[in-house]
């Protein structure tokens, strides 16, 4: 089941220096939101706030709220482990664990209390099928994950998150470390996951955003702080942008 | 033309220096080993390795001494490895790299690692032999060795834990994994080769130690019956034979050969283990 995610007045500062601020953005259930904008405008920082990964950075302070299905993810009753199961994150560089392919999927499942071995195996297989990797790896599940190609590694990372049955997927430039072919495979995969997940994809590739996104959010640096300058349905952003920076950006003039 | 030639000449000179240095190191090692082989090989046989020394070591073998050395090493490792690993995990994972506490602990460890072993010997003598009442014993010696090896083990272990790519931690946390299981299932395996290297360095230092042991485990060359007995380590035996026993030089060479071979064997075994482990994880 996919859930609605909403940022309200969201901002993040590293040791008192604001990376981005004042972001109001609603991500409807099952939609794909593309987050675009020039380097350093706070896209990665924004994603990190959505599943509380900012807590890994000493001195990072969050303002505003993130609502998952209406409830604040920083509320006192929220358990962060459960939150991160429900809101999965994929990084720019594939980060398989230096373990076997099987262990890569097994370890997080075990961590989340899936005791039954057969069930873990079944969920791992389903996730690998979801990302189209099953046929490629089913005979080498006990081989090291690091021996896979970059594109396969990235799909393994997506499978690893999917095995936990998340409701939201955050993807930070999931294709930018891959060659064009592997990039196309991952892009299709993210699109075809479809309404099962609410997806937020950071990308520098505007053509890609145009192909896969339901809505596009444009970040821009204003006075040294990242701001959400425009958000709307994909067609509107690309064909009729309101903000002058957005207009120049989507026409490829700036950014 | 000149500009093209000069760097080339310099490159050759630099290569010469580098190769020369490498050859010098290799040569020195070969010389020592060759010397020991010539002087000692004829005497090393099964009887030498198992028999007790006679006539202050001029005759007989090193059996009890090997046993004492093994026990000393075992005590050192049993204490230093868990403590060292724990401290390294604390430093690498639970204190920020530039934090005050971390810096202080690291600085102290670096100082400790450079303290001459005789100081550790005197310290161990006061603390373990006298204050804790353990007397001259293998236990006192092993604990002193552990104190000496700890700084080395902690620092190398911390460095290898910190060398694990941050992306690994980040993605594990993003999957909802707890700190402890990240350490247990990911960081320790990923850092294992470095950890092993640290332990081997520590063992090497302990195995080669003389000064610290004379004051703590003593130099009784009988076969120890418990870890509270005094016992003589191999390096102490070599020292004693060459300094205090006229006519003991040939036995000193034979014992030194045994010591060097033991060191080489430990190094070889750990290299083998690292290779196995690396293949299993698929890291290159
Ligand atoms: N861990 C950190 N500590 C301090 N400052 C940081 C940290 N991470 C990011 N920043 C700063 O926050 C700002 C936004 O960075 P962020 O990585 O979110 O941008 P981005 O839009 O993802 O950029 P890119 O497109 O290059 O990935 C930058 O000015 C950056 O220097
Ligand atoms: Mg980024």
Q: Which residues contact A247 (CB under 8 A, 6 or more apart)?
A: A241
Per residue in A67-91, pLDDT tens? 999 999 998 888 999 999 999 999 9
- A154 part of contact set with chain B, CB < 8 Å: no
Q: How many other C-beta atoms can be found within 10 angstroms of the C-beta atom of residue B163?
A: 11
User: CA–CA separation, B152 vs B202, rounded Å?
Assistant: 6
Q: What is the pLDDT of residues A179-211, one digit of tens each?
A: 888 889 889 989 988 888 999 999 999 999 999
The contacts found for B225-228 with CB under 8 angstroms, 24 or more apart, are: B227/B71, B227/B75, B227/B137, B227/B138, B227/B139, B227/B142, B228/B134, B228/B135, B228/B137, B228/B138, B228/B139
**Which of B173, B178, B186 shows the shortest C-beta gap to A53?**
B173
**C-alpha span between B61 and B250 (Å, rounded):** 12
* pLDDT one-digit tens code per residue, B67-122: 999 999 999 999 999 999 999 999 888 887 777 888 888 899 999 888 999 999 99
Cβ of B283 within 8 Å of Cβ of A144? The answer is: yes
Q: Which of A58, A95, A112 sits opposite B167 (nearest CB)?
A: A95
How many Å lie between the centroid of ligand 2 and the Cα of residue B44? Answer: 65
A138-164 pLDDT, tens per residue?
A: 999 999 999 999 999 999 999 999 999
Closest atom of ligand 1 to A226 CA is 14
Ligand index nearest the alpha carbon of residue A48: 1
CB B150 within 8 A of CB B81: no
| A80 contacts in chain B (CB < 8 Å) | 176
| Weakest-pLDDT range from A48-52, A240-244, B3-7, B134-138 | B3-7
Pocket of ligand 1 (CB under 6 A): A 14, 19, 39-45, 57
- Residue A36 parent element (H or E): strand A32-36
Residue A117 CA to residue B223 CA, distance in Å, equals 52
| Residue A132: inside a domain | no
Look at residues A187, A169, A249 and name the one whose alpha carbon lies nearest to residue A217. A249
* pLDDT, position B281: 61
Tell me: the pLDDT tens digits for B190-217? 888 888 888 888 888 888 888 899 999 9
CA-proximal residue: ligand 1, atom 3 (nearest): A14
In a domain, A156, yes or no: no
Question: Of B221, B213, B32, nearest to B129 (Cα)?
Answer: B213
Whose atoms come closest to the Cα of A15: which ligand?
1
Closest to B189 (Cβ–Cβ): which among A84, A98, A161? A98
Q: Are B140 and B69 in contact (CB under 8 A)?
A: no
User: What does the pLDDT read at residue B284?
Assistant: 37
The interface pTM score, or ipTM, of the predicted complex is 0.88
Closest CA–CA distance from residue A241 to any residue of chain B (Å): 34
Query: Has residue A136 been placed in a domain?
Result: no
Question: What's residue A2's pLDDT?
Answer: 81
Q: Which ligand is nearest to the CA of A41?
A: 1
Give the per-residue pLDDT at B2: 53
Q: Which residues of A touch B189 (CB under 8 A)?
A: 98-99
CB contact A102 to B (< 8 Å): no
Domain membership of residue A129 (yes or no) is no
What pLDDT is recorded for position A29?
A: 94
2-21 in chain A: CB under 8 A from chain B: none
Task: Name the DSSP class of A199.
Answer: E
Q: Is the dihedral of CA A202, A207, A212, A218 positive or negative?
A: positive
Contact B282 A80 (CB under 8 A): no
Can you tell me the distance from the alpha carbon of B242 to that of B252, in angstroms, rounded to the nearest whole number?
6
In a domain, A102, yes or no: no
- How many domains does the structure of chain A reveal? 1
Closest Cα of chain B to A71: distance in Å?
19
Give the other-Cβ count within 10 Å of B94's Cβ: 12
Q: Domains along chain B?
A: 66-234 (1.10.3720.10)
Q: Which residue of B has its CA nearest to A92?
A: B167
- Quote the domain boundaries for residue A31: 5-94+168-250
Residue A146 lies in a domain: no
Cα-only R_g, chain A:
18
Q: Which two tokens stand for residue B83?
A: 């403590």
The CATH code of the domain that includes A211 is: 3.40.50.300
Instruction: Kindly report the nearest CA distance between residue B202 and chain A, in angstroms.
Output: 27
Q: What angle do CA B215, B219, B224 make, to 5 degrees?
A: 115
Q: How far is CA A192 from CA A94, A137, A196, B196, B282, in A?
A: 20, 21, 9, 46, 31
Q: Which segments of B51-187 does DSSP mark as H helices, in order?
A: 63-94, 100-114, 117-124, 138-162, 166-174, 179-181
Interface of chain B against chain A, CB under 8 Å? 96, 165, 167-178, 181, 185-186, 189-190, 280-283
Q: Which two tokens stand for residue B119?
A: 């100081």
Which residues does chain A have within 8 Å of residue B179's beta carbon, measured at their own beta carbons? Answer: none
Contact A107 B185 (CB under 8 A): yes
Termini Cα distance of chain B: 42
Q: Which of A51, A98, A112 sits opposite B282 (nearest CB)?
A: A98
Residue whose token pair is 């950006």: A249
Ligand 1, atom nearest to A45 Cα:
18
Chain A stretch 59-88, residues whose beta carbon is closer than 8 A to a beta carbon of chain B: 80-85, 88
CA–CA distance, A123 with A25 (Å, rounded to integer): 32
The tokens describing A31, both together, are 């939609």
List A201's β-bridge partners, or say none. Answer: A34, A171
Q: Which residues of B touch A123 (CB under 8 A)?
A: none
Rounded to whole angstroms, how far apart are CA atoms A127 and A141?
Answer: 13
Position B283 scores a pLDDT of 45
H or E element in which residue A72 lies: strand A71-72
Q: Which residues of A28-48 are buried (b: 16+ CB within 10 A; e: fewer)?
A: eebbbbbbbbbeebbbbbbbb
Task: Spell out, as residue ranges, where chain B has pLDDT lower than 70.
Answer: 1-6, 278-284
pTM: 0.80
Question: Which chain A residue shows the shortest CA-CA distance from B279?
Answer: A144
Tell me if A176 is assigned to some domain: yes
Residue A223 is assigned to a structural domain of this protein: yes
Which ligand 1 atom is nearest residue A37's CA? 21
């Amino acid at each position: 089941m996919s859930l609605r995610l909403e940022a309200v007045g969201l901002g993040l500062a590293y040791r008192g220096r604001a990376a981005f601020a004042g972001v109001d953005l609603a991500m409807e259930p099952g939609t794909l939101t593309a987050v675009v904008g020039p380097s350093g405008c706070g896209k990665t920082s924004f994603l990190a706030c959505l599943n509380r990964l900012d807590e890994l950075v000493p001195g990072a302070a969050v303002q505003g709220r993130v609502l998952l299905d209406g409830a604040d993810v920083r509320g006192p009753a929220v358990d962060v482990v459960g939150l991160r199961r429900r809101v999965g994150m994929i990084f720019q560089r594939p980060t398989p664990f230096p373990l076997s392919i099987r262990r890569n999927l097994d370890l997080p499942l075990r961590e989340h209390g899936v005791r039954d071995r057969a069930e873990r195996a079944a969920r791992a297989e389903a996730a690998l099928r979801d990302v189209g990797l099953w046929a490629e790896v089913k005979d080498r599940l006990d081989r090291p994950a690091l021996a896979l190609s970059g594109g396969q590694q990235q799909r393994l990372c997506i499978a690893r998150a999917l095995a936990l049955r998340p409701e939201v997927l955050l993807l930070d430039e999931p294709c930018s470390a891959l060659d064009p072919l592997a990039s196309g495979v991952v892009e299709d995969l993210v699109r075809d996951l479809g309404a099962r997940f609410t997806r937020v994809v950071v990308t520098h590739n505007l053509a890609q955003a145009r192909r896969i996104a339901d809505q596009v959010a444009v970040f821009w640096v204003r006075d040294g702080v990242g701001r959400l300058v425009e958000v709307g349905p994909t067609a509107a952003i690309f064909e009729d942008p309101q903000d002058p920076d957005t207009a120049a950006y989507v026409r490829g003039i700036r950014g | 033309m000149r500009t093209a030639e000069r760097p080339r000449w310099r490159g050759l000179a630099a290569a010469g220096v580098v190769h020369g240095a490498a050859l010098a190191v290799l040569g020195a090692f070969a010389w020592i080993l060759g010397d020991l082989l010539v002087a000692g090989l004829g005497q090393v046989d099964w009887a030498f390795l198992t028999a007790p020394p006679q006539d202050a070591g001029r005759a007989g073998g090193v059996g009890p001494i090997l046993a004492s050395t093994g026990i000393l090493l075992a005590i050192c490792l049993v204490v230093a490895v868990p403590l060292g690993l724990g401290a390294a995990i604390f430093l690498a994972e639970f204190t920020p790299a530039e934090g005050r506490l971390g810096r202080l602990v690291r600085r102290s460890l670096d100082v400790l690692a450079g303290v001459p072993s005789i100081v550790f010997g005197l310290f161990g003598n006061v603390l373990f032999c006298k204050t804790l009442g353990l007397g001259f014993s293998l236990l006192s010696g092993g604990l002193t060795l552990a104190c000496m090896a700890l700084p080395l083990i902690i620092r190398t272990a911390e460095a290898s834990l910190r060398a694990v790519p941050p992306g690994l931690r980040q993605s594990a946390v993003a999957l909802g994994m707890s700190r402890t299981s990240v350490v247990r299932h990911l960081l320790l395996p990923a850092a294992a080769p470095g950890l092993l290297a640290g332990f081997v360095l520590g063992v090497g230092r302990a195995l080669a130690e003389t000064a610290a042991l004379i004051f703590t485990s003593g130099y009784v060359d009988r076969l120890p019956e418990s870890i509270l007995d005094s016992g003589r380590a191999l390096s102490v035996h070599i020292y004693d034979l060459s300094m205090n026993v006229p006519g003991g030089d040939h036995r000193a060479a034979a014992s030194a050969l045994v010591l060097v071979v033991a060191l080489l064997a430990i190094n070889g075994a750990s290299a083998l283990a690292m290779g196995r482990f690396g293949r299993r994880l698929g890291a290159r």
